[in-house]
Chains A and B, each alone.
Chain A
C-alpha cells in the first residue's frame, strides 16, 4: 500500500475522564450489522460507514424522561437522581488535581438538562483538536441501527480554532421508559471535514440540468459506461479501492 506522508493526524482526541474507552476508527461493516452483500459490493455504504471515528459514552448510564423532568442513574450509583447538571462521577476532584490552579473548579459537566424539553447535553469525556482548516462533524454513527428512544443532533465545530470538550446535544424521544447508554456501543461518529467542503461559496450554488433533452454527450457516455455496459459485480468498488491505495487526495503531491 502506498502511504502518503502526513506529519500530524488531522484530528487529535484528548482523554480527560480516566479509564474511558478511546475512540476507534469507524467500521466499514457497521460493527457487523450491515448486510453481507452491502459490505462486500457496495463501496458507497462501506465508505460512509467507515468515514471517521466512533466515540463511546464514558460510562454506562440510563435516562428516563416523563415529558417534563429527566431522571438519571449510572453504573455504580445508589439510585436515581433528578437531572439538572451533573459531573462525571468523581471527575471534579480528578480535574482539580490535574488542572492549573487558576482553572480548578472549572471541570466540564458530564450531563446537563437544558431548558428545552427533553434535550440534554452530554460530554464524551474527551477534548478534541484538529489540524489547521479542518473541522469536525459530530453526528450519530453512520449506518448503525439507532436507538429509537433518542436522537443526537449533528454539529460542525471548527476544532482547529476552538479547543474544548467534545460534547453533543441529544433529543430524548420516548417518555416513561429507561433509555440506556452503554460504553459498548458507539454514541457518535466524528468525521473530519476540510473547511473548503462546506464553505458558503460551495454550498450556495450547485448545477442543475433540467431535463433529459439537455444532457450533454459526455453524460450519456458516462451513463453507458457505468450502468448500461456489462460490468463485473463490484467493479465500482474495485476501482475506488485501487484509487484509494494510490494515495491521499488531500496530501498527495
Chain B
C-alpha cells in the first residue's frame, strides 16, 4: 500500500460525529405498540375475496 493511499482512511472526526439521536426509517416507529384493542378485535370469521386464496392458506 502506498503512502498516499494510507492517508485516505482517517479516524472519525469530531466534525462528523453523530449521537444517533435522529434516525431515518425505523426511527419514526411509535415507541409504544399495544397488543390488543377490544374495540377493533376481529374474529376473522369474514374475509373478503377469500375464495381467491390458495387452498393451502384457507382455513
A residues contacting B by CB (< 8 A) are 64, 66, 71, 73-74, 77-82, 84-90, 92, 105-110, 112, 115, 121, 123, 165, 167, 169, 175-178
Contact yes or no, A109 B44, CB < 8 A: yes
Which residues between 1 and 59 of chain B lie within 8 Å of chain A, taking CB atoms? 24-30, 32-37, 39-49, 53, 57
Closest beta carbon of chain B to A92's beta carbon, Å: 7
Contact yes or no, B29 A109, CB < 8 A: no
Contact yes or no, B47 A81, CB < 8 A: no
Given contacts A82-B33, A105-B43, A106-B46, contact A178 B28 (CB under 8 A): yes
Chain A residue with the shortest CB-CB distance to B39:
A89
Contact yes or no, A77 B29, CB < 8 A: no
Contact yes or no, A81 B40, CB < 8 A: yes
Q: What DSSP secondary structure best describes chain B's contact surface?
A: loop
Known A77-B37, A87-B42, A90-B39; 16 more pairs at CB < 8 Å:
A66-B26, A73-B30, A80-B34, A81-B40, A82-B35, A85-B47, A87-B41, A88-B40, A92-B41, A92-B42, A105-B43, A105-B45, A109-B42, A109-B48, A112-B42, A121-B49
Assembled-state Cα–Cα distance A136/B42 (Å): 28
Given contacts A79-B33, A86-B37, A115-B57, contact A107 B46 (CB under 8 A): yes
Contact yes or no, B30 A71, CB < 8 A: yes
Contacts of A66 in B (CB 8 A): 25-26, 29
